[in-house]
Chain A
């Protein structure tokens, strides 16, 4: 009978190291899906079709049925890195289902999936037993694994990167952000289908909004439009009724914590990152840049004390926490968090939820993307549903 194991425990208890130890001890190569794209996909392919071809078993017969939650044939010509984070995880699982690997290790990657895809993925790995396939899984949201799984619970021996985001936010000054109106917004990627068509939306400050939708619906794309990384093909943004075009004049209103924390560093160390942000935004009169002391305190509250340490030397979960520094500091009126809870244990998620709630109460506008319903329930919010190229404001959650 195949072995299926959930490696549980808080952050920094050595779960990823334990997972790697199991991979090293395995007598044969194992399929690995890490938390972000560079450890989920092979990095050897220029198209989705090629990614699948690399893993498709050529000699050994595959005993498992294909896991095909998306139309991979239809997007075969797309570059794998242009897929959304969740779609990349689904592609990796599809590749595994086509391969001859006898074991799979997944490090928090399933936390990026929407509810339907997450259930399908968990069901797929759970049925690995029928195919004699070993599974090792780390997942912060899976508190109760299926009954016949073994659970190894690790404990953090010494407290590391102790995190108190709510304590950090307690010192943020109140401010009233301007209301955000989106009028007739259209967007499509070059050579791609429409992502948004005629979006009409008004968001009021002093309130948290949960951006909700299936993997690949366009949640991250909307955040990129708001910070000016992408430009809409049609439509306007208004702040308190005044035209605002960050894609033309630069971003001055939205602080973004990206899904993958490594997508937002502006320097090799935290000191360099802060100095460059100060240089970039300091010239804007509408932005009140926090003092170095304030940011130092904030980083300490997020568990980071070494300002001159190379950012990539920090564990991924610590980098994720540090990615909240910018929006939590309240430097900009609108604060956006893209999947902030990925890779974070239950205690940290609860603390972050408290921090977001406080920020809304201080007059900021807060937009967060998450597939974690338990986390979302802790933050009073209104739902913004993305589906069929539109965004609908729903009731509170």
Chain B
């Protein structure tokens, strides 16, 4: 697969997962992703699944608490004004989480498929307008900045004895200080960069030159197999809905 083929493949699967309205539809997409994982990502596929589960699990726990534990009815039952059951609420939560799991899994599989490329090389290889590529790079940059800010804020607060390195009751009571410090740090990092570095160098113009260099690869034979398969599967899912 090429980066463009993989990105299109993921986009089609995400559209299918969002549009799917039955478990059968989601099962078809899960099968498609399993096939892609087996052929393209191979032994590293379990890492993609693990990451997707780690992302979805907290949301699943929260949704289960709210919908099954507190509300006790599914969304459809609320809309219809019927009494409803916790079982229906659990099914509803399961369906939403499965849909999200497939979305995250599709993205993770593409990330792992091209883990030998750096993020910038991957974005450069995409057939997109410069503005869209620049937005992608800035989004990734913001994510890295936030991660860096978390590390910096945590260093400050652990050294000051406000939070502990390991999970603790103290961290629960002072967690808000960490959140506040992270945001303050992130803002100052970005401001420092935009005030001093970028205007002097016109760094964003340099980035545009880098993103514009080289021709994106045409779709490969693999892409020409995977994309029709993904499109067909999604059409079946939409038809089943």
Task: Show the binding face of A for B, using Cβ within 8 Å.
Answer: 20, 23, 29-32, 34, 36, 38-47, 49-50, 53-56, 58-59, 76-77, 79, 81, 99, 101, 105, 224, 227-231, 247-252, 254, 256, 258, 262-268, 276-277, 279-281, 284, 312, 326
B63 to chain A, nearest CB (A): 31
In this complex, how many residues of chain B approach chain A with their Cβ under 8 Å: the count is 51
Least distance between B125 CB and chain A CB atoms (Å): 13
A79 touches B144 (CB 8 A): yes
Contacts of A55 in B (CB 8 A): 206
> Which listed residue, A45, A58, A251, A263, touches B120 by the CB 8 Å rule?
A45
User: Would A262 and B161 count as touching, CB distance under 8 A?
Assistant: no
Residues of B within 8 A of A81 (CB): 144, 148, 151
- The residues of A that contact B206 with a CB separation of less than 8 Å are 42, 54-55, 99
Which residues B25-42 have CB closer than 8 A to chain A?
Answer: none
Q: Which residue of A lies closest to B138 (CB)?
A: A44
26 contacts between A and B (CB under 8 A): A30-B201, A34-B192, A36-B192, A39-B197, A47-B119, A50-B118, A50-B120, A50-B121, A58-B209, A105-B200, A228-B164, A247-B165, A249-B164, A251-B159, A258-B155, A262-B185, A263-B156, A264-B160, A265-B184, A266-B162, A266-B181, A276-B160, A277-B160, A277-B161, A280-B174, A326-B160
User: Would B201 and A39 count as touching, CB distance under 8 A?
Assistant: no
| Given known A-B contacts A46-B120, A55-B206, A277 and B145 have beta carbons under 8 A apart | no
Given pairs A54-B203, A250-B164, 12 additional interface contacts (CB within 8 A): A30-B200, A38-B192, A44-B204, A46-B120, A47-B118, A49-B120, A53-B118, A56-B210, A251-B160, A263-B152, A268-B184, A277-B160
Do A231 and B119 touch (CB < 8 A)?
no
With the chains together, A258 CA to B191 CA distance in Å?
Answer: 21
Interface check B202, CB cutoff 8 A: yes
CB neighbours (8 Å) of A79 from chain B are 144
- A268–B213 Cα distance when bound, in Å, is 43
B87 at the interface (CB under 8 A from A): no
Alpha-carbon distance between A153 and B110 when the two chains are bound, in angstroms: 56
- For residue B152, which residues in chain A have a CB less than 8 angstroms away from its CB? 262-263
Task: Map CB proximity to A onto B98-136 as digits: 1 under 8 Å, 0 otherwise.
Answer: 000000000000000000001111000000000000000
**A280 cross-chain contacts in B, Cβ below 8 A:** 157, 160-162, 174
- Is the pair B118, A46 in contact by a Cβ cutoff of 8 Å? yes
Contacts of B120 in A (CB 8 A): 45-47, 49-50, 53-54
With beta carbons under 8 angstroms apart, the residue of B181, B198, B210 that contacts A53 is: B210
Closest to B148 in A: A81
Closest 3 A-B residue pairs measured CB to CB?
A280-B162, A50-B120, A38-B192
Closest chain-A Cβ to B170's Cβ sits at a distance in Å of: 8
Task: Produce 1/0 per residue, B174-218, CB < 8 A to A.
Answer: 100100010011001111110011101111111101100100000
Contact between chains at A265 and B181 (CB < 8 Å): yes
Are A34 and B118 in touch, CB under 8 angstroms? no
CB closest residue in chain A, given B191? A312
Min CB distance, B157 to chain A, in Å?
A: 6
Interface centre among B145, B160, B203, by most A CB within 10 Å? B160
A262 touches B158 (CB 8 A): no
> Chain B residues near A23 (CB, 8 Å)?
200
Check if B118 sits within 8 Å of A44, measured CB to CB. no
Would A265 and B162 count as touching, CB distance under 8 A?
no
Shortest B104–chain A CB gap in Å is 19
Quick one: which of B158, B159, B174, B210 has the most chain A CB within 10 A? B159
Closest-CB distance, A13 to chain B (whole angstroms): 19
Q: In the complex, which residues of chain B have a beta carbon less than 8 angstroms from the beta carbon of A105?
A: 200
